[in-house]
Amino acid sequence: MSYQAPVKDMLFNIQHLAGLETLTQQIPAFADFGLDTAAAVLDECAKLTQDVIAPLNFEGDKNPSSWKDGVVTTTPGFKQAFRAYAEGGWQGLVHPAEFGGQGAPKTIAAACAEMLQSANMSFALCPLLTDGAVEALLTAGSDAQKAIFIPKLLDGSWTGTMNLTEPQAGSDLALVRTRAEPQADGTYKIFGTKIFITYGEHDMAENIVHLVLARVAGAPEGVKGISLFLVPKFMVNADGSLGARNDAHCVSIEHKMGIKASPTAVLQFGDHGGAIGTLIGQENRGLEYMFIMMNAARYGVGLQGVAIADRAYQKAVAYAKDRVQSRPVDGSVAGSAAIIHHPDVRRMLMTMRSLTEGCRAMASTAAAAFDAAHHHPDAEARKQNQAFYDFMVPLVKGYSTEMSLEVTDLGVQVHGGMGFIEETGAAQHYRDAKILTIYEGTTAIQANDLVGRKTARDGGQLARAVAGQIEATEAALARRDSAAARAMLKALRASRADYLAVVDFIAAQAKGNPNVAYAGSVPYLMLAGNLVAGWQLARALLVAEDMLATDPAFMGAKIATARFYAEHILPRTGALRAAIVDGADSVTELPLEAF
């Protein structure tokens, strides 16, 4: 049941793929966050997540959060674990020092976030949502809102939520109906029902800061008439002390397939006269602010995919070394042996490992682009990195979460019948992972973003520029003479060709034949994610070959994992290309009435 944080792999990515040293040299604010600091931070985080938070994961599934008379009680141990997390300063790691944070690069903080999610996804959702609330306030909050709320969110006194969803408004936020009535004192009264609100009510902090999407009376229809409000559970006085209970109440929590310890609340605003809120930013720009926050949250959910995949992989490896069953086909063991001797079990473990490492590498590279986009002194460098990061967000979210389903499914399979039995915990990872392809925008919504905003809008220019970078890695591989480099070069070239053909196809069809382009949207997302993760493993392979003598076990494993990805995962792009380019019509051919 134990979790071992993959600190070495994370530091490898941070150093060699994300290029932390370049970031710290180019960005004065990060001067103190060199590799030694990164290693120290990751070691500390590993201790907390392994020793304090991970042991509560299984318990949370068995003894989830519960609701009684509007009060939510979290799993025993969560409250104390949250104190330890808050007192360690972890909530402030990536946020600005002026509000009590530590201003660390996302390149480092992302590794810590992954550990926290691996340790306990249900628990870690609370800090993830708080990060989102802080992000939104930093983006659009007034000076007073920032000064009062952000320090309390960062020190763990209060936590944050994101209130978008309503019964009739899920993927389509244009349908939001919660209403806001302006008051003479400049505040607003909020009325409406929000559903599926993660940590909408709980007992781990003194106050909960709800960020709520609502419409001001007379606002335009659709997404252009939505505003963002700050609605605290307890009103907050000017000096930051807590005031009266606000009219925002949890009327129930959901019974779920997974992440059971994370309370998913139905919140009722304004049943007793109106919940008092203050506007964040300007009226009718709420969705715009929320999208900034959602980009951070989407990246965070992508990391959840990597995290749960890693936890499932670790469990599967331990079981495969322990479970004795069947004689190995090569006769290497007389009689029955641990199942890890069977080639098919090795194939499953390598699939799990290579997908996890590939997605981790992709997320690490994206984090470095985020850091440069926000803090690089050169405006052009900021712009380029922002464009690359924006392209990566749907890939990190969409591909990493979809692959986490494959990995956790294989995790159950490696366990055989015991995987289906809850006491091993393998099934919990599988059930927990399923939410990742749904919330923060389903995979289809990520794919729409990739097709519409990230590909069709500029005629495929940015998507092709990414292919150009991949080509440069191929050139480096072509100068190598190892079997692994040859295998990677062959696969990467073929996958890049598949990708370029699809980019051309999507860019050409998106406007005139939207059904044709969008019929292939999710396959395109999977193709792009597969390729970009493979590209990062190709970069890792080049480094690992250079450093093989310094650390043969680790670097050798990195090379073997990259080669497996090249030979077993990258070739999937060929089938995706065929389906997208040749198979678009059959997606919508069957008439609606035939279903």
Residues carrying an active site annotation: 440
Told to check if 507 binds ligand FAD by CB under 6 A, we report no
CB 257, min distance to ligand FAD, A: 9
Residue 519 and residue 586: Cα distance in Å, rounded? 9
The DSSP string of 63-83 is: S--EEETTEEEPPTTHHHHHH
Single out the segment in contact with ligand FAD by CB under 6 A; choices: 161-169, 241-249, 381-389, 548-556.
161-169
CB nearer to ligand FAD: give 163 or 268: 163
Single out the segment in contact with ligand FAD by CB under 6 A; choices: 2-10, 165-173, 288-296, 545-553.
165-173
Tally of CA atoms within 13 A in the half-sphere of 411 that contains its CB: 32
Residue 298 and residue 504: Cα distance in Å, rounded? 26
Told to check if 196 binds ligand FAD by CB under 6 A, we report yes
Single out the segment in contact with ligand FAD by CB under 6 A; choices: 13-21, 190-198, 396-404, 481-489.
190-198
Which amino acid makes up residue 150?
Answer: I
CB nearer to ligand FAD: give 102 or 159: 159
CB nearer to ligand FAD: give 144 or 257: 257
Q: Do 454 and 462 touch, CB atoms closer than 8 A?
A: yes
Q: Do 371 and 105 touch, CB atoms closer than 8 A?
A: yes
Q: Whose CB is nearest to ligand FAD?
A: 170
Q: Which residues contact 500 (CB under 8 A, 6 or more apart)?
A: 464, 467
φ, ψ (nearest 5 deg) of residue 88:
-75, -5
CB 149, min distance to ligand FAD, A: 18
CB 213, min distance to ligand FAD, A: 8
CB 84, min distance to ligand FAD, A: 24
Angle at 282 between CA 279 and CA 288, to 5 degrees: 105
One of 120, 365, 446, 448 touching ligand FAD (CB under 6 A)? 448
CB nearer to ligand FAD: give 3 or 196: 196
CB nearer to ligand FAD: give 193 or 326: 193
Measure CA 74 to chain center. 23
The DSSP string of 461-521 is: HHHHHHHHHHHHHHHHHHT--SHHHHHHHHHHHHHHHHHHHHHHHHHHHTTT-HHHHHHTH
CB nearer to ligand FAD: give 265 or 466: 265
CB 162, min distance to ligand FAD, A: 5
Residue 540 and residue 552: Cα distance in Å, rounded? 14
Which one, of 132, 130, 486, 121, lies nearest residue 296 by Cα? 132
One of 49, 120, 163, 351 touching ligand FAD (CB under 6 A)? 163
CB 172, min distance to ligand FAD, A: 6
Other beta carbons less than 10 A from residue 300's beta carbon: 26
Burial per residue of 19-37, b for 16 or more beta-carbon CB atoms within 10 angstroms, e otherwise: bbeebbebbebbeebeeeb
Residue 305 and residue 316: Cα distance in Å, rounded? 16
Single out the segment in contact with ligand FAD by CB under 6 A; choices: 101-109, 192-200, 495-503, 547-555.
192-200
Q: Do 135 and 292 touch, CB atoms closer than 8 A?
A: yes
Considering CB under 6 A, how many residues would be counted as binding ligand FAD?
19
CB 198, min distance to ligand FAD, A: 3
- Residues 224-263: x/- map of binding to ligand FAD (CB under 6 A)? --------------------------------x-------
Told to check if 123 binds ligand FAD by CB under 6 A, we report no
Would you state the structure tokens that stand for residue 592, as one six-digit string?
A: 């609606």
CB 256, min distance to ligand FAD, A: 6
One of 24, 74, 107, 165 touching ligand FAD (CB under 6 A)? 165
CB nearer to ligand FAD: give 171 or 336: 171
CB nearer to ligand FAD: give 295 or 473: 295
Q: Which residues contact 185 (CB under 8 A, 6 or more apart)?
A: none
CB 165, min distance to ligand FAD, A: 4
Told to check if 171 binds ligand FAD by CB under 6 A, we report yes
Residue 134 and residue 594: Cα distance in Å, rounded? 48
CB 441, min distance to ligand FAD, A: 6
Which one, of 132, 531, 123, lies nearest residue 299 by Cα? 132
Helix (H) or strand (E) holding 126: helix 121-140
Told to check if 46 binds ligand FAD by CB under 6 A, we report no
Told to check if 452 binds ligand FAD by CB under 6 A, we report no
Told to check if 264 binds ligand FAD by CB under 6 A, we report yes
Would you state the structure tokens that stand for residue 497, as one six-digit string?
A: 């060709």
Query: Using CA of residue 457, residue 461, residue 466, residue 471, what is the dihedral sign?
Result: positive
CB nearer to ligand FAD: give 121 or 410: 121
Angle at 57 between CA 558 and CA 129, to 5 degrees: 85
- Residues 405-444: x/- map of binding to ligand FAD (CB under 6 A)? ------------------------------x--xx-xx-x
- Site for ligand FAD, rule CB under 6 A: 162-165, 170-171, 196-198, 256, 264, 435, 438-439, 441-442, 444-445, 448
